[in-house]
């Protein structure tokens, strides 16, 4: 079965949860009945802020409750990252919310020290791969994109469908000044892992006066960008991920079978 996915690329009101949630709900409402998965940017309710003590919420806080309500109301899987507090620690946490209220999550592994993220947040220690209608989706966040080992397929060479996952999602607040890296690395991750890659970035200027160009995209397993260029525009991108294209690519050029075996050891 094919998978219809929508990416919401927009400006984010700095540290204003109420305004952001209202804005995103309006956009999500327009997608009701038209898509299966809706992906929001990194820290979609606040912007990329280090103000954890003011902005962090528990897992039963308002933003998670909002995700549950919106996911159920509009019958979509809702994904994006938020600032979460748990046992006195703070996490940049990717939430994968199902319409039935169940959720999975991933804590950002690679914290962006250049902006001091490592001084405020605790890094994650495991990957999270969601499943929907036969698709396996690896959920990651922004700076993780620069570390190919963390995203690399773990191959089961005894299985005909030897890939670990089929889609790789990055939610981000990726500054415009490093836009070339964003575009290049998303394409590289798709080619080397023979998977679809989804990158969702914001536009506008944040509270630290950093500008964001957007360039959210969907890349197919051959490294081809499926959606038109959308630099600086607030927009909704909807693409259909083809199961037959994915399987044909892997069968016709079975590069994954030649991959090196490896083990990720966390410090």
Q: What are the per-10-residue average pLDDT scores of the chain (267 residues)?
A: 97 98 98 97 98 98 98 98 97 98 98 96 97 97 98 79 92 97 98 98 98 98 93 94 96 90 80
Q: What is the pLDDT of residue 261?
A: 84
Q: Which residues contact 89 (CB under 8 A, 6 or more apart)?
A: 122
Which residues on adjacent β-strands are paired with residue 213?
203
- Which of these is catalytic: 17, 57, 139, 142? 142
What domains can be seen in the chain, in order of their start residue? 3-257 (3.60.110.10)
pTM to 2 decimal places: 0.97
Nearest to 74 by CA among 34, 118, 117: 34
Helices 17-29, 62-74: crossing angle, 10 deg rounding: 10
Is 139 catalytic? The answer is no
Is residue 200 within 8 Å of residue 40, measured between CB atoms? yes
Q: What is the pLDDT of residue 160?
A: 52
Is residue 141 within 8 Å of residue 42, measured between CB atoms? yes
CA distance 153 to 161: 12
Backbone angles phi, psi at 47, to 5 degrees: 85, 170
CA distance 184 to 180: 6
Is 34 catalytic? The answer is no
Is residue 94 within 8 Å of residue 81, measured between CB atoms? yes
- Which of these is catalytic: 108, 117, 195, 239? 108
Q: What is the pLDDT of residue 136?
A: 97
CA distance 199 to 230: 12
Is 42 catalytic? The answer is yes
Is residue 28 within 8 Å of residue 22, measured between CB atoms? no
| In the block, residue with structure tokens 């020290």 | 113
């Amino acid at each position: 079965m094919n998978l219809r996915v929508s990416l919401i690329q927009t400006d984010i009101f700095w540290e204003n949860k109420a305004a952001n949630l209202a804005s995103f709900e309006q956009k999500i409402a327009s997608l009701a009945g038209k898509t299966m998965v809706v992906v929001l940017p990194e820290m979609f309710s606040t912007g990329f802020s280090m103000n954890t003590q003011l902005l962090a919420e528990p897992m039963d806080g308002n933003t998670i409750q909002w995700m549950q309500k919106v996911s159920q109301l509009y019958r979509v899987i809702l994904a994006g990252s938020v600032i979460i507090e748990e046992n006195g620690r703070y996490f940049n946490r990717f939430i994968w919310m199902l319409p039935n209220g169940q959720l999975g999550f991933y804590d950002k592994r690679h914290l962006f020290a250049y902006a001091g993220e490592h001084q405020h947040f605790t890094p994650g220690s495991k990957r999270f791969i969601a499943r929907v209608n036969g698709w396996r989706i690896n959920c990651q966040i922004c700076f993780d994109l620069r570390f190919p080992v963390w995203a690399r397929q773990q191959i089961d060479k005894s299985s005909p469908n030897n890939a670990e996952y089929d889609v790789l999602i990055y939610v981000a607040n990726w500054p415009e000044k490093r836009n070339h890296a964003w575009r290049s690395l998303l394409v590289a991750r798709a080619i080397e892992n023979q998977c679809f890659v989804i990158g969702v970035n914001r536009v506008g200027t944040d509270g630290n006066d950093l500008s964001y160009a957007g360039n959210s995209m969907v890349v197919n397993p051959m490294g081809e960008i499926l959606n038109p260029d959308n630099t600086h525009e607030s927009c909704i991108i909807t693409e259909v991920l083809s199961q037959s294209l994915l399987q044909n690519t892997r069968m016709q050029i079975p590069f994954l079978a030649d991959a090196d075996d490896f083990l990720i050891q966390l410090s």
